[in-house]
Amino acid sequence: MKTLLYLLFLGSTLRAQEPAIWIEETFEDNRRGWPTQTDAGFSREIKDGIYALESKSAAGVAIANFFIDDAKPYILETEFRFGTVDAQGKFAITWGGKGVSAFYAVELKADGAVRLYQQVGSEARTLAEKKIDAFKKGPYVLRIWHKASAASADKQGVKDPVFEVALNGKVLFDAPADKIYGFYHGFFLNPKMSVEIDRLTVKQNNKINLVSTKISKSEKENLGPNVNTVYDDIAPVVSADGKTLYYSIQFCPDNTGGANDPDEIYYAELSYDGPPGKRQNIGRPLNNAAPNSVVSVSPDNNTLILLHQYDERGEYRAPGLSYSTRSRTGWAVPKPVVIKDYYNLHRYNNFSLSPDRNTLISALQREDSKGEQDLYVSFLTPDGEWSAPKNLGININTRGDETTPFIAADGVSLYFASDGRPGYGSKDVFVSRRLDTSWTKWSEPQNLGPLINTPNWDAYFTLPASGRYAYLVSNQNTIGKGDIFRIELPEEIRPRPVLLLKATVTTPDGKTPVAAQIEYSEAGATKISGSASTNPKDGSFTLVLPAGKEFLITLNAERGGKIVKKISTQDVHVYTERTENFTMDVAVAVEEPEELPKTVAPVVKETPKAPEASKTERISGYIRFPFNQEVPVKGWEPEMVRVAELIKSRPEKKVVVAGYTDSTGTDAYNMGLSLRRAEWVKNFLVQNGVEESRIKVENRGEADPLLPNSTLYGRKRNRRVEIHWY
Are 415 and 489 within 8 A, CB to CB?
no
Order of strands across the sheet that contains 359-364? 350-353, 359-364, 374-379, 390-391
Name the pLDDT band for 515 (thresholds 50, 70, 90).
confident
For residue 691, what are the contacts with CB-CB under 8 A and spacing of at least 6?
Answer: none
Strand order in the sheet with 530-533: 530-533, 516-522, 550-557, 562-568
Domain count, the chain: 4
Within-domain flag for 446 = yes
Q: Which of 267-281, 579-593, 657-671 shows the lowest per-residue confidence on average (mean pLDDT)? A: 579-593
SS (H, E, C) 577-630: EEEEEEECCCCCCCCCCCCCCCCCCCCCCCCCCCCCCCCCCECCCCEECCCCCC
Q: Is residue 114 scored above 60 in pLDDT?
A: yes
Q: Answer whether residue 712 shows pLDDT above 80.
A: no
Domain edge (last residue) among 493, 525, 550: 493
Choose the weakest-confidence range: 49-63, 536-550, 552-566, 682-696: 552-566
- Confidence band, pLDDT 50/70/90 cuts, at residue 157: low
Q: Does residue 688 or residue 142 have the better pLDDT? A: 142
- Measured between alpha carbons, how far is 426 from 30 in angstroms, rounded to an integer? 12
Identify the band that residue 490 occupies on the pLDDT scale cut at 50, 70 and 90: confident
What's the CA angle centered on 491, arms 473 and 267, to 5 degrees?
A: 35
478/560 same-domain check: no
Q: What is the mean pLDDT of residues 402-425?
A: 93
The C-alpha torsion from 159 through 165 and 166 to 172, rounded to 10°, is -110
Contact 471, 236 (CB under 8 A): yes
Would you say residue 591 lies in a domain?
Answer: no
What integer pLDDT is reported at residue 216 of this predicted model?
60
Nearest to 504, CA basis, from 535, 473, 544, 472: 535
According to the model, what pLDDT value does residue 616 have?
64
Question: Which residues does residue 113 pair with via DSSP β-bridges, in sequence order?
Answer: 131
Please name which of 418, 386, 414, 382 lies closest in space to residue 399, comparing C-alpha atoms.
418
As beta bridge partners, residue 598 has none
pLDDT of residue 116: 97
* Domain identity same for 36 and 57: yes
Beta carbons within 8 Å of 676's beta carbon, 6+ residues apart: 630, 659
Instruction: Note the pLDDT of residue 470.
Output: 93
pLDDT band at 87 (very low <50, low <70, confident <90, very high): confident
Does residue 713 surpass a pLDDT of 80?
no
Q: Is the pLDDT of residue 554 over 60?
A: yes
In a domain, 306, yes or no: yes
pLDDT in tens, 330-384: 899 999 999 999 999 988 889 999 988 889 999 999 999 988 899 999 998 888 8
- Other beta carbons within 10 angstroms of residue 166's beta carbon come to 17
| Banded model confidence at residue 223, pLDDT cuts 50, 70, 90 | very high
Question: What burial class does residue 526 get, using C-beta atoms within 10 Å of its C-beta: 0-12 exposed, 13-18 middle, 19+ buried?
Answer: exposed
173 and 50 in a common domain = yes
Element housing 673 (H / E): helix 667-687
User: What percent of the chain has a predicted confidence (pLDDT) above 90?
Assistant: 50
Q: What's the pLDDT tens digit per position in 94-111?
A: 999 987 789 999 999 999
Query: What is residue 49's predicted lDDT score, i.e. its pLDDT?
Result: 94
Is residue 516 located within the same domain as residue 552? yes
| Coil vs helix vs strand at 566 | strand
When pLDDT is cut at 50, 70 and 90, the band that residue 593 belongs to is very low
Of residues 61, 29, 25, the one with CA closest to residue 42: 61
Is residue 559 within 8 A of residue 588, CB to CB? The reply is: yes
> How far is residue 313's CA from residue 305's CA, in Å, rounded to a whole number?
18
Q: Are residues 631 and 502 in the same domain?
A: no
pLDDT in tens, 193-202: 999 999 999 9
Q: Is residue 211 part of a domain?
A: no
Q: Looking at the structure, tell me whether residues 68 and 130 fall in a common domain.
A: yes
Please report whether residue 595 resides in a domain: no
Would residue 52 count as lying in a domain? yes
Of 476, 493, 510, which closes a domain?
493
> Tell me, what amino acid is at 7?
L
Q: Is pLDDT of 310 > 60?
A: yes
The mean pLDDT value for 276-296 works out to 92
Residue 558 has pLDDT above 90, yes or no: no
Q: The domain that contains 695 carries what CATH number?
A: 3.30.1330.60
241-256 pLDDT, tens digit per residue, is: 999 999 999 999 888 8
Domain that holds residue 648: 623-725
Taking the CA atoms of 132, 133, 137 and 141 in sequence, report the sign of the dihedral they define. negative
Q: What pLDDT is stored for residue 215 in this prediction? A: 65
* CATH assignment of the domain containing 575: 2.60.40.2190
Helical packing angle, 637-648 and 667-687, nearest 10°: 60
More confident residue, 577 or 717: 577
CA–CA gap between residue 532 and residue 522 (Å, rounded): 15
pLDDT at 156: 52
Residue 88 lies in a domain: yes
Q: Cα(630)–Cα(624) distance, rounded to whole angstroms?
A: 10
Residues 554 and 564: their CA atoms lie apart, in Å, by: 4
Report residue 716: phi and psi, to 5°: -65, -40
Query: Which of 300-304, 605-609, 645-649 bottoms out in mean pLDDT, i.e. has the lowest?
Result: 605-609
CA distances from 39 to 192, 287, 342, 410, 713 (A): 14, 33, 40, 49, 64
Query: Do 167 and 235 share a domain, yes or no?
Result: no
Sign of the alpha-carbon torsion through 83, 89, 93, 97: negative
d(CA 429, CA 446): 9
Residue 26 domain flag: yes
Residue-level pLDDT at 597: 36
> Residue 355's domain is classified under what CATH number?
2.115.10.20
Which band of pLDDT confidence, cut at 50, 70 and 90, is reported for residue 261? confident
Which pLDDT belongs to residue 27?
96
Question: How many H-runs (helices) and E-runs (strands) does the chain carry?
Answer: 4, 46
Residue type at 176 in one-letter notation: P
Q: How confident is the model at residue 150 (pLDDT cuts 50, 70, 90)?
A: low
Q: Are residues 447 and 300 in the same domain?
A: yes
**pTM, 2 dp:** 0.73
Q: What is the pLDDT of residues 3-47, one digit of tens each?
A: 333 333 344 434 447 899 999 999 998 888 899 988 888 999 999
User: pLDDT at position 14, please?
Assistant: 46
DSSP output for 175-228: EE------SEEEEEE-SSEEEEEEEEEEE------B-SS---S---EE--TTT-
Total residue length of the chain:
726
Q: Inform me whether the pLDDT recorded for 124 exceeds 70.
A: yes
Cis peptide before 455 (omega within 30 of 0): no
CB neighbour list of residue 104: distance below 8 Å, 6 or more residues apart:
94, 95, 96, 97, 116, 117, 118, 119, 163, 180
The whole-number average pLDDT for the span 213-218 is 64
Are 150 and 272 found together in one domain? no
Q: Please indicate, yes or no, whether residues 195 and 234 belong to a single structural domain of this protein.
A: no
Pair (470, 360) in one structural domain: yes
Q: What is the pLDDT of residue 422?
A: 94
Domain boundary, last residue among 446, 476, 493: 493
Whether residue 672 sits in one domain with residue 533 = no
Helix (H) or strand (E) holding 250: strand 244-250
Indicate the average pLDDT of the chain: 86
